[in-house]
């Protein structure tokens, strides 16, 4: 049944199939554990091994042929030994990928279809973004637009709403500490489920198995999909199931060993039967039970977070442009080999002049100019001019109206490019660029204004859209003033 749910999940690639596959795990886990029945002997042997209780031969070890482990090591080994069901589910998912239509996506990549490599491209760019802002992230909902502008290859004009992976998206937008917290919760639930397996009565194993499967499905689905935001309630449900299972353990045990293991006719030094009168799970308090799963989860989450950061640092090794997002709407660009310098150029961007991927033409012009070594400040379309710090300032399109009568700072040279509204009481500017095609019906008014104010004019080709040719004209002019 679990295999059928996984095939449905992978084959359809739809949100509802994912939710159905995860929800069905509770029922399938319950049915599977109930059909397996007692299993008391195996549970007893596992618990004996975990607790380090003698099996009756007085040797202090487990069954013949099994390693005799001291109490701390026995518990750690049992966690790893109990992970076999998780590996089985992972294997089933891999098989489902192969036997369904999902495998065709990989075959398309092998035949030269570059579109299926989009996930790899997004992973590479996402890792670079993590390395540039590892702690605070790029801001909620901004992963896609920042990737498109500052990290996407010049040959691509694809617009992305987000990263293609939930964990990557969280790390990019909210930072690695937030991702580490989420991974810690996922790993902790998985390790705790397996750790409690030998302590839960058979009648309640279905709850635990269902919770385990829900969490494992959640973790696997979010590797390939951006579903973490609407699947999170199911993880909360799984944690609630764990709490119920924990309550069942306490209720069934009545203060004794919950699975009835480790009880023999021997007596301890106080004369009481071994295993009686002890708290749950062989004398361990709840804090002791949670310690090892928490430690395992902390180690696993730290390894994942550090690996993402190091992967981003490695991906940046051949990057020509370094990106520094100072604050919202304010981005600094400089060449990798150039030292950080004072801002030489500020560009107030406009979608109508540069397109939706407004950062790409600016990066490309900076890369192609081998002699330019300064820092470029980019004011994004929604930002204000409060942080404008460049010696030369390019104000594009509709941003000219926002500039208004603002007075330039001492030594600051202002250049207007392709205004979309008629002039008003504009401050004095250094130069004016106008389009040859007057699509905004303002060229005549600006020519008259420039004549009155003694402002030189340069005409750009076409409608004034800053393609590679027009951008080069402006870039070459900036270097002359």
d(CA 54, CA 34) in angstroms, rounded, equals 30
Residue 47 is predicted with a pLDDT of 45
d(CA 75, CA 197) in angstroms, rounded, equals 12
**253: closest CA among 278, 289, 270?**
278
| Domain 321-478 classification at class level | alpha beta
**Ramachandran bin of 119, using left for φ above 0, alpha for ψ from -120 to 50, beta for the remaining angles:** alpha
**10: closest CA among 230, 237, 220?**
220
Structure tokens at 367: 């890369």
**Residue 268: C-alpha distances to residues 272, 274, 277 (Å):** 6, 6, 12
Concatenated DSSP letters of 419-471? -SS---SPPP-SEEEEESS-TTS-HHHHHHHHHHHT--EEEESTT----HHHH
Run of H or E residues at 294: helix 286-315
Q: How sure is the predictor about 32, in pLDDT bands with cuts at 50, 70 and 90?
A: low
- Asked if residue 80 has pLDDT above 60, the reply is no
d(CA 195, CA 296) in angstroms, rounded, equals 11
Helices 84-99 and 205-224 pack at an angle, to 10 degrees, of 50
Concatenated DSSP letters of 338-377? SPP--EEEEEE--HHHH-SSTHHHHHHHHHH-TT--SEEE
**Percent of all residues in the chain with a pLDDT value above 90, rounded to a whole number:** 30
Residue 332 is predicted with a pLDDT of 93
- Asked if residue 2 has pLDDT above 50, the reply is no
- Asked if residue 95 has pLDDT above 70, the reply is no
Q: What ranges do the domains of the chain cover?
A: 2-311, 321-478
State pTM to two decimals: 0.72
- Asked if residue 306 has pLDDT above 50, the reply is yes
């Amino acid at each position: 049944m679990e295999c059928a749910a996984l095939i449905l999940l992978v084959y359809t690639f739809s949100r509802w199939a994912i939710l159905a596959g995860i929800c069905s795990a509770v029922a399938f886990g319950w049915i599977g554990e109930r059909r397996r029945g007692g299993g008391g002997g195996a549970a007893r042997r596992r618990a004996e091994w975990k607790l380090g209780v003698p099996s009756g031969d007085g040797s202090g070890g487990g069954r013949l042929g099994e390693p005799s482990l001291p109490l701390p090591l026995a518990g750690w080994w049992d966690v790893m030994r109990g992970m076999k069901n998780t590996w089985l589910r992972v294997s089933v998912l891999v098989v489902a990928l192969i036997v369904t239509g999902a495998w065709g996506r990989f075959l398309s990549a092998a035949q030269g279809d570059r579109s299926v490599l989009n996930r790899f491209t997004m992973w590479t760019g996402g890792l670079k973004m993590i390395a540039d802002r590892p702690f605070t992230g790029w801001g909620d909902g901004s992963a896609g637009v920042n990737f498109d502008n500052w990290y996407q290859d010049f040959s691509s004009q694809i617009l992305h709403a987000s990263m293609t992976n939930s964990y990557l998206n969280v790390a990019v937008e909210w930072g690695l500490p937030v991702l580490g917290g989420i991974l810690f919760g996922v790993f902790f639930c998985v390790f705790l489920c397996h750790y409690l397996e030998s302590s839960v009565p058979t009648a309640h194993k279905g709850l635990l198995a269902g919770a385990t499967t829900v969490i494992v499905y959640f973790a696997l689905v979010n590797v390939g999909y951006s579903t973490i935001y609407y699947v999170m309630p199911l993880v909360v449900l799984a944690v609630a199931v764990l709490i119920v299972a924990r309550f069942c353990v306490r209720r069934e045990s009545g203060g004794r060993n919950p699975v009835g293991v480790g009880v023999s006719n021997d007596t301890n030094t106080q004369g009481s039967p071994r295993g009686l009168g002890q708290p749950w799970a062989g004398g361990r308090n709840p804090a002791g039970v949670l310690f090892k799963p928490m430690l395992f989860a902390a180690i696993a989450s730290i390894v994942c977070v550090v690996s993402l950061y190091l992967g981003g640092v490695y991906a940046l090794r051949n990057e020509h442009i370094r990106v520094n997002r100072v604050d919202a709407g304010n981005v600094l660009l400089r060449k990798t080999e150039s030292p950080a310098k004072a801002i030489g150029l500020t560009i107030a961007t406009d979608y109508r002049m540069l397109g939706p991927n407004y950062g790409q033409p600016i990066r490309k012009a900076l890369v192609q100019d081998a002699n330019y070594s300064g820092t470029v400040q980019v004011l994004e379309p929604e930002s204000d001019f409060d942080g404008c710090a460049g010696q030369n300032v390019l104000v594009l399109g509709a941003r000219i109206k926002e500039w208004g009568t603002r007075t330039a700072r001492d030594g600051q040279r202002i250049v207007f490019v392709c205004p979309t509204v008629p002039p008003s009481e504009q401050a004095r500017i250094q130069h004016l660029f106008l389009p040859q095609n007057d699509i905004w019906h303002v060229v005549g008014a600006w020519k008259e204004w420039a004549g009155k104010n003694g402002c030189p004019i340069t005409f750009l080709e076409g409608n004034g859209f800053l393609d590679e040719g027009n951008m080069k004209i402006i870039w070459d002019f900036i270097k002359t003033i």
